[in-house]
Chain A
Amino acid sequence: MTESQKHSIQTTEGAPVIRIGALQWVKSNLFNGVFNSILTIVMLFFLYKVIPPFVKWAFIDSLWLSSAAQCRTVNGACWSIIPANIRFIIFGFYPHELHWRPFLAMIMLVSLLFYSKNRNHWNKYFGYLWLAGLFIMGLLMKGGLLGLTAVESDQWGGLPLTLMLSFFGMFAAYPLGVLLALGRRSKMPAIKTICILYIELIRGVPLISLLFMSSVLFPLFLPEGLTINKILRAQVAIILFTAAYIAEVVRGGLQAIMRGQYEAAESLGLNYVQKMRLVVLPQALKIVIPPSVGILISAFKDTSLVVIIALYDVLKTTKATLANPSWMGFSPEAYIFVALIYFLCCYSMSNYSRRLEKELHA
């Protein structure tokens, strides 16, 4: 068929457009039948019972900038707990007068992530930019150079700690997971067995027990006097844990790629690394964007489990605030605030993944 023939086949008539009014829409969508009508009425009643009281509590009767004592006199929400304790919730035990440093580090991390969203920016200097950024962030957190006061890592906490654990967790776990997935599909029995053992062992154990092992068991095996930073140990546990899950998701993607793709790549003379990097992985990883992001999101939330080895992430600092006698009892307000922080991060991630899928037209 020639090009011109193809064009003449296309229909000139558009699909019929149906216009309906609002009332018609309500009738056909909410009250089309007895069951749906009852359901609509029940839902409306439920919303009536829940929303007005919540609005009254959260916005009308609430206090935003008051003392704890004033809060006790009203019935509404005491949002004052947030501004009054914001610095402790966000930065934990980091020295008070140095809070600008972790703040700046967080701003840098978030801006770098935003900058990286646009894949046109991924050029030669992109890697150097990240390296420089990470170095400066580390310097800001740790200090001890260029006249910055040194801050030991056991004073780190709050949101910077949460962001750090999840950021490094994800970015180290992903490549490790890909390698494990490739290893599990390898034809070499030794590599295959090691990868299967690793994946199944890690997946068979809850993250909490890995964290415990990293903080309680692991130091027992180290020689006297040698200690490894607690945050680093938790970080490694999170990476190892997340990688095992990523590996299984990526393996699923690899299995979805037709044998013909491997054969076409091989018949061109590409070697194993080239075949995987140029032909197979780009397709497989694209397929598994939704489940991988799901794993990364749950990894982000799982960082809150580091409380059990006495690290103060943002959830733990909130809890600690609530332990203060004057603010005791305002936990709904505090937890809503932390939930919003978590939601904001997770929602940005899933939003970005959707955009990425569309860009790559997966």
Chain B
Amino acid sequence: MLRYTVHRILLMIPTLLGVAVLIFFLLRIMPGDIVELKLLGEGASVTPDVLAAERARLGLDKTLIWQFVDWMGGLFTGDLGVSMWTERPVAHEIGIRLELSLQVAIMATILATAIALPLGTLAALFRDTWIDHTIRVFAIAGLAVPSFWLGMVLILGLLLVFNWIPPLTFTPLYEDPWANLSQLIWPAIAVGYRYSAVATRMTRSSLLEVLKEDYIRTARAKGVYERLVVARHAMRNALLPVITVIGLEFAFLIGGLVVTEQVFNLNGIGKLFVQAVAHGDYTLVQALVMLVASFFIIINFVVDMLYAWLDPRIRYG
């Protein structure tokens, strides 16, 4: 088990390296030049010398390889560099937004899991009854309704019914939990609904699949209580694919809530991503991609660890 864990951790390094190489060179292929955007943006005319000087200042005059080496050197020493657009450290730009994005992602995940596991289980156990049909309607609606639209409906509903709208500025959880939650619970619901729909469907189909297994029949033939058949014999096996879905969705939420963040006026990672790409802000985009990639990789690692914990065949493989 220890070997397995160490092996998985070591494997993360080449994966991240691959991501770094890919994003660095892909960005350079993309059209758009931050220097021109910055200096020519307001319709001003600038001499080529000024442009060249600015390029040199940002380190864009060096060969690609040297730029890459510089960046990698920074990465290994923990220096993500300075945003080419705002001139502020990248770590700072990301830091102030990550707190918010991470909180929304965690809240949405908790919400989705809390809805999906019981509903999915009920749907499987009462397959093809009105319970299953009702849950199916709930889940399919969740898949069909875009999160941002649900977000708008939520805001409108709050406005019309309670004549209240959530706060528009972010307060950290530790400063004022009430203000914080009353702002962030709504995007978490908007995103969590769709998320729970995916997980509900997965829980249902996975549990139905497991309930058909021979060992479930064995458990019943032993005279095990039906509740225990589900809780002890079926659930652990059925959870494996559900965990994968939950993990991947979580990683996606970190950087993927572009439109929902707009709707709730949230200053999150998604919004920052869009701005950085629009500005051609190489350092910031690279850092963001590395961040999201790291999240995916770490979540995958956590999922693998959970698998190993749930499934002895992996633990003792």
Partners in one complex: no
Give the B-binding residues of A (Cβ under 8 A): none
